[in-house]
Amino acid sequence: MPQINFLTIKEASQWVSQFLSRDISESNISYLIQYGRVKKYHDNGSTLVNINDLKNYYLSFQGRREISWEKRLGKDLNWGLSFDHLREKDTTKHVHRLHPYKGKFIPQLVEYFIDNHTDDFKKDVYFKTDDIILDPFSGSGTTLVQANEMGMHSIGIDISHFNCMIK
């Protein structure tokens, strides 16, 4: 019978950081728990995670996603736009920490499309400083925040009253 090892959030952060040889914060572990990526356990008021759940979660990302998606969609995918080399804490903005909005996307993706660079995938520049960006499905506000940080104006519309209030 396999032994189950439970770790606190802090211990899990330290273990995963060592396991992956890169910094994984306590916030990263809390995020995994909050969004149901790993199961949460309790012991005398402490939140715990199963070390095997963590290991399986992180191993599932090491190259396997590329193989799986390439089988379905072909080899001409732009893996640079996956931003999977970034840590979770580097792909979130303060707007993402206000509430558990599950439909968020990372600011680096927005920046990629609205900044003034071109590459093999992005052939033209469509936005410049002082332009106005309309986001008709603004959700957690990632596009609005990123546009503002890049010196652009933005207008966000969303059907959710709550989402409109956080902007």
Q: Quick one: which of 12, 36, 33, 35 has its CA closest to 24? A: 12
CA–CA dist 26, 17 (Å, integer): 10
Residues 100-127: tens digit of each pLDDT: 667 778 888 999 999 999 988 899 999 9
Report d(CA 103, CA 109) in Å as an integer: 14
Q: Kindly tell me the sign of the dihedral angle through the C-alpha atoms of 27, 29, 34, 40.
A: negative
Query: Which residues does residue 41 pair with via DSSP β-bridges, in sequence order?
Result: 48
Q: Convert the pLDDT of each residue in 9-45 to its tens digit.
A: 999 999 998 988 888 889 889 989 988 889 999 988 8
Distance CA 151, CA 129 (A): 5
Q: What is the pTM of this model?
A: 0.60
Residue 156: strand pairing partners: 135
